[in-house]
Amino acid sequence: MKVKMKVQESLIRLFLTLASTVIFGTGVMQAAPANLSLIVSASPGTGLDILARTLSQQFSIKGNYTTVVENKAGASGNIAADHVTRAKPDGATLLVVGTTFATNAAVNPNLPFDTVKDFVPVALLGTGTLCLVVPSSSTANTLADFLQMAKTSTKGVNYASPGNGTPQHLAMELLKFEAGLNLFHVPFKGSAGAVNDVAAGHVSAMIAPVHTVMPLVKADKLKILAVLSSERAAQMPQVPTFKEQGLPKVQVDIWYGLMAPKGTSPQVIQSLNQEVNLVLKNPEIAANLAKQGIDAGGGTPQLMADTLSAELKRWPPVVKAAQIKAD
């Protein structure tokens, strides 16, 4: 009888040990919050928003998470980022960021958060192609035309951006210095107003994501003169790169990433990373994103960390040379 009881006790202890390992040791339960909030640091319809809603839809279809997308645009993404730093680090509240996350750190040394220390990278969500556009009414039909116009203009040529310190702003300043152009900046509060004013001919040019300008290009309101990627864009193979036209340093891609608040456990990060990769590696999802000008990302959390690190090193010299100050 005693032997039987000892065997039963041993089995019970073994069961409890295994159960605790599953629940606490692997982090499986910990890594699957019932509800996810994806905080987007941009307006609806942007590349960040497209990616966030793609993830949300796929997570819901798979039944792993109930996901809500919250757009908290404004202050160059600071509102969204600050919100996430205050969230519980359990993987339930995540920040969807873009290149502005890095450029903003270069422009504004007094952010209410630390771009590196207050966040944990989850995954690189994707990259996008930037292009130089002018109004269809512009006399510049090629990049060479635009460069000549911007070099010889006594008054200077104006250009638009979605705001001070944005990637589009810094990319144009990079072009300005590399090509020796006479350009001056007209900042807007967001992409929509900037793109529309360029299309209307009120502003002479703009660097913008391909997916942002394509509707107006198709409507014959804008012309694309060059892309800033290392290779020609799949959506417009007829448009040359800056590198092809003698400006190899004018190469800027935009990127999108997913971040968690500091203190989020490695198990949670790894679980979320795996879920994101499953979505982005789906050929149908990747093809759909490509149609909208976004190359699906993926990879390890370290890849996202390395991408952010490289961007944080790249932009301060440009900001200093252009004497860009925070608003």
Q: Are residues 265 and 217 in the same domain?
A: no
Q: Are residues 107 and 168 in the same domain?
A: no
Domain assignment present for 30? no
Domain assignment present for 22? no
> How many residues are given for the chain?
327
Is the pLDDT at 8 greater than 80? The verdict is no
Q: Are residues 90 and 49 in the same domain?
A: yes
Helix H or strand E encompassing 19: helix 2-20
Domain assignment present for 310? yes
Domain assignment present for 145? yes
Query: Contact at 8 Å (CB) between 203 and 220?
Result: no
Helix H or strand E encompassing 39: strand 35-40
Domain assignment present for 136? yes
Local structure of 68: helix, strand or coil: strand
Lowest mean per-residue pLDDT among 22-31, 66-75, 104-113, 184-193:
22-31
Domain assignment present for 274? yes
Domain assignment present for 154? yes
Query: Contact at 8 Å (CB) between 119 and 94?
Result: no
Residue 139 lies in domain: 129-245
Average of per-residue pLDDT values in the chain: 88
Q: What is the pLDDT of residues 160-169, one digit of tens each?
A: 998 888 999 9
Q: What is the pLDDT of residues 145-155, one digit of tens each?
A: 999 999 999 88
Q: What is the pLDDT of residues 26-62, one digit of tens each?
A: 444 455 577 899 999 888 878 889 999 999 999 888 7
248 Cα distance to chain centroid: 23
Picking from 245, 266, 301, the residue at the C-terminal end of a domain is: 245
Can you spell out the DSSP letters for 72-134?
---GGGHHHHHHHHTS-SSSSEEEEEETHHHHHHHH-TT-SS-TTTTEEEEEEEEEEEEEEEE
Q: What is the pLDDT of residues 135-146, one digit of tens each?
A: 999 999 999 999
pTM recorded for the entire structure: 0.83
Q: Are residues 143 and 116 in the same domain?
A: no
User: pLDDT above 70 covers what percent of the chain?
Assistant: 90
Picking from 201, 225, 245, the residue at the C-terminal end of a domain is: 245
Q: Are residues 177 and 69 in the same domain?
A: no
Q: What are residue 114's phi and psi, to 5 degrees?
A: -100, 120
Query: Contact at 8 Å (CB) between 72 and 94?
Result: no
Q: Are residues 182 and 169 in the same domain?
A: yes
Q: Are residues 45 and 89 in the same domain?
A: yes
Look up residue 190 and give its amino acid.
G
Q: Identify the sign of the CA torsion 57, 289, 42, 217.
A: negative
Domain assignment present for 15? no
The pLDDT-based confidence of 305 (bands split at 50, 70, 90) is very high
**pLDDT number for residue 18:** 41
Query: Could you give the CA distance from residue 64 to residue 251 in angstroms, rounded to a whole number?
Result: 38
Q: Are residues 237 and 135 in the same domain?
A: yes
Domain CATH number, residue 104: 3.40.190.150
Q: Are residues 46 and 97 in the same domain?
A: yes
> Looking at the DSSP assignment, which residues form a beta bridge with residue 36?
67
User: pLDDT above 90 covers what percent of the chain?
Assistant: 69
**pLDDT number for residue 47:** 85
Local structure of 113: helix, strand or coil: coil
7, 85, 244, 262, 319 from 81: Cα distances, Å: 55, 6, 37, 12, 21
Q: Are residues 169 and 270 in the same domain?
A: no
Number of domains in the chain: 2
Q: Are residues 98 and 200 in the same domain?
A: no
Is the pLDDT at 124 greater than 90? The verdict is yes
**pLDDT number for residue 30:** 52
Is the pLDDT at 304 greater than 50? The verdict is yes
Q: Are residues 179 and 212 in the same domain?
A: yes
Picking from 245, 264, 299, the residue at the C-terminal end of a domain is: 245
Greater pLDDT, 192 or 222: 222
Lowest mean per-residue pLDDT among 20-24, 114-118, 313-317, 323-327:
20-24
**pLDDT number for residue 27:** 40
Is the pLDDT at 7 greater than 60? The verdict is no
| Burial track 248-282 (b if 16+ CB lie within 10 A, e otherwise) | eebbbbbbbbbbbbeebbebbbebbbebbbebbee
Domain CATH number, residue 197: 3.40.190.10
**pLDDT number for residue 234:** 82
